[in-house]
Structure 1
Amino acid sequence: MTGATAGVAETAPVARPSYRANHVARHTAPATARHGVARTLKTWGLEHMADTAELLVSELVTNAITHTTSRTVGVAVTCPVESTIRIVVMDTDRSELPPPEAGGDEESGRGLLLVDKLSDRWGVERVATGKRVWCDLDTRRVAL
């Protein structure tokens, strides 16, 4: 046996799971994204994270549809490390992202405030095709 100790089997690295989908930028996209994320987390045995993840993806997809000129919105969910779920929403708009704030009586503008409060970390990255807004959830946390 070359490169391995006799009697010890070599194992290939296990790929982390991921989910990816593209949605037409219309009013049905947040619900479709929520369902896809919930199914994915259930498959991964992370049902306890589904409510929070669904709310986060819904807010991010809604923002992409409402505040950009994108015709499609991409959604990805990955586990970059064992105890973290990363939700990523991608759009093709190159405009600046507004800060997460809303006035006292405003009915909208609270999406990024929710993302900030409910996720463990979040950020925005410019990419060649537009921007990517992401948030991380620690899978060890207690559900909402």
Structure 2
Amino acid sequence: MTSTIATPHSIGRPVYTMVLPCRPESVRRARAFVAGVFETWGIRSLTEDGEVIVSELLTNTLDHTTCPVAAVVIERCTDDVIRIEVADGSHTRPQLADHDADAESGRGLFLVDALSWRWGCDEYDWGKSTWAELKTMTTAPSAPDPVPTSESAR
């Protein structure tokens, strides 16, 4: 049996991990996992984007590998960067390929690319980790200094 308990890590940056079987019903559980972590971190405004990203990354694992399990990892890299990753035992890298706008599938990585600040894939001896990062806040442009008037110069 595969563990599906979300595990917080107590040392270092805030990280939660969930190991899921590579079955279609795991996508729903991964979405709920993202929603719960984002709620905990007080970033509910990013929940929908995070749910779509984890859905697409996990679906790629289901559709393009024969891995029995995948790990979903959510990490708070900095105060303003959240990383969602799906790790599996396959060495097949995801490809952002040309797609047919009328196709019923094949747009997952385009969604990940559109919704995330950046995304990528890291390879390891044991497999790979496909990840996407979201920004939690943007730096507001600074307001220009007020132009002194003859009134304010007095």
Please classify the TM superposition score into its range, dividing by the shorter chain length: 0.7 to 0.9
Contact 2:96 2:110 in 1 (8 A): no
Any conservation in 1 of the 2:31–2:54 contact (CA below 8 Å)? yes
Q: How does 1:38-57 map to 2 (within 5 A)?
A: 38-57=35-54
Say if 2:72 is the partner of 1:72.
Answer: no
Residue 108 of structure 1 is matched in structure 2 by: 105
Unaligned runs of 5+ in 2: 1-10, 139-154
Could you tell me which runs of 5 or more consecutive residues in structure 1 were left unpaired when the two chains were aligned. 1-13
Task: String of CA shifts for 1:19-51, please: whole Å, max 9, x gaps.
Answer: 100100001111000001100110111111111
2:83 is equivalent to residue 86 of structure 1: yes
> Structure 2 CA distance, aligned partners of 1:102 and 1:134?
21
Q: Does 1:117 align with 2:117?
A: no
1:99 to 77, 96, 105: 96
Letter in 2 for 1:74: A
Runs of 4+ in 1 over 4 A off after TM superposition: none
CA shift for structure 1 position 73: 0.9
Q: Cα RMSD over matched residues?
A: 1.4
2:93–2:121: 8 Å Cα contact kept in structure 1? no
Report the identity percentage: 37
Q: Counterpart in 1 of 2:132?
A: 135
Q: Which has the larger radius of gyration?
A: 2
**Shift of residue 131 of structure 1?**
0.8
For normalisation by structure 1, the TM-score amounts to 0.84
Contact preservation (8 Å) 1:123, 1:134 = yes
